Structure formats: C-alpha cells, structure tokens
Amino acid sequence: MSYESGSLECRKLVEAKENLIKTMQSLDCLNNAEHLNEKLKEIYKEIEDMHEERRKIEIKF
C-alpha cells in the first residue's frame, strides 16, 4: 500500500492496514494459521471502512 496524504487519523489508519497486511503475509507460511488470517481480514475490512468514512469527512472540508 502506498503512502496516502491526509490527516493524522488517515495516516494512522493506513499504517494499521499496512501492518495487518504484513502480519497476514507472515502467517501465510505457518500451518494452521488460516483462522487467524480470517480474523485479521475482518479487522482489515473494519479499518478500511473507518478509513473510507474519514476520507468522506475530509473531502467535505
């Protein structure tokens, strides 16, 4: 994921998503970690939704 300018909140959300991606990639090579990756994907989606809402707020200003 590339750097995205914007508010501190947006940058922190992007950072959190990047860290989750790294974690999921690390778990990919481990046996019996599929359930963890599924949970992390759900968390990623929630953060993505939060980021989208924040972008909408910032566009208004």
**Cβ-proximal residues to 6 (8 Å cutoff; 6+ apart), any chain:** 54, 55, 58
Q: Using one digit for the tens of pLDDT, what is the confidence trace for 10-48?
A: 999 999 999 999 999 999 999 999 999 999 999 999 999
List the domain boundaries for the chain.
8-60
Q: Using one digit for the tens of pLDDT, what is the confidence trace for 39-55?
A: 999 999 999 999 999 99
**H helix and E strand count, the chain:** 2, 0
Rounded to two decimals, the pTM is: 0.83
Judged against a pLDDT cut of 50, whether residue 3 lies above it is answered with no
